[in-house]
Chain A
Amino acid sequence: QVQLVQSGAEVKKPGASVKVSCKASGYTFSNYGISWVRQAPGQGLEWMGWISVHNGNTNYAQRLQGRVTMTTDTSTTTAYMELRSLRSDDTAVYYCARVDFLSRYCSDTSCPVDYWGQGALVTVSS
């Protein structure tokens, strides 16, 4: 069965970086992508971007451009999201989700997500 298992909670100081991992299993990793979505405490969902595992193409949210990097390691079927220059408003639960490039519901620009990881809490505090 498809599973996305994320790394554990982290506490970081303002200005530091964090790298969250997302270990995929139960499917052919390179046929799909990984999207990252975050949720601040008590708030809604914010899309951060996605990466194609096959060719490494990325599509980042404009407001995070320059601070976020998404990568994948096909040897370990793991995706990573690194966020730099952390601020207190980056405190959130970070989710990874599988982008289904095989979906028949893809638009001209992108494909929807289906399976989600359990989330990883990142707390930014001095």
Chain B
Amino acid sequence: DIQMTQSPSTLSASVGDRVTITCRASQSISRWLAWYQQKPGKAPKVLIYKGSNLQSGVPSRFSGSGSGTEFTLTISSLQPDDFATYYCQQYDSYQWTFGQGTKVEIK
């Protein structure tokens, strides 16, 4: 299986900060990567498809980039609603895999 590794595992930031989360794949997945946001007790919410395409309704402060084995999710100006856990997920392989998650906490 393709392994997905996110860093950092936890990130402490303040409202207004620019935040970047990295996701690395154990082999090339082209651009077949999705990003999700999950809040406690809730289902994940998709933010980005195919590495950089924003899901309808997702604020433009979220952006994704990368290809091959390295990807980033950037929040340009962190808002109170953005404190959550973020996951990357590859769908290049028939066997989908998720990163272990990055928790964005209030500093």
Contact = CB atoms under 8 A, between A and B. Distances in A.
Contacts, number: 59
Query: Secondary structure of the B side of the interface?
Result: loop
Interface residues of A, number: 24
Interface stretch (A11-19, A71-79, A84-92, A102-110): A102-110
A59 B94 contact: yes
Q: Could you say which interface size class chain B belongs to?
A: 20 to 34
Contacts of A114: 46, 55
Contacts of A27: none
Interface of B: 1, 30, 32, 34, 36, 38, 43-46, 49-50, 53, 55, 87, 89, 91-101
Interface of A: 35, 37, 44-47, 59, 61-62, 95, 97, 103, 105, 107, 109-114, 116-119
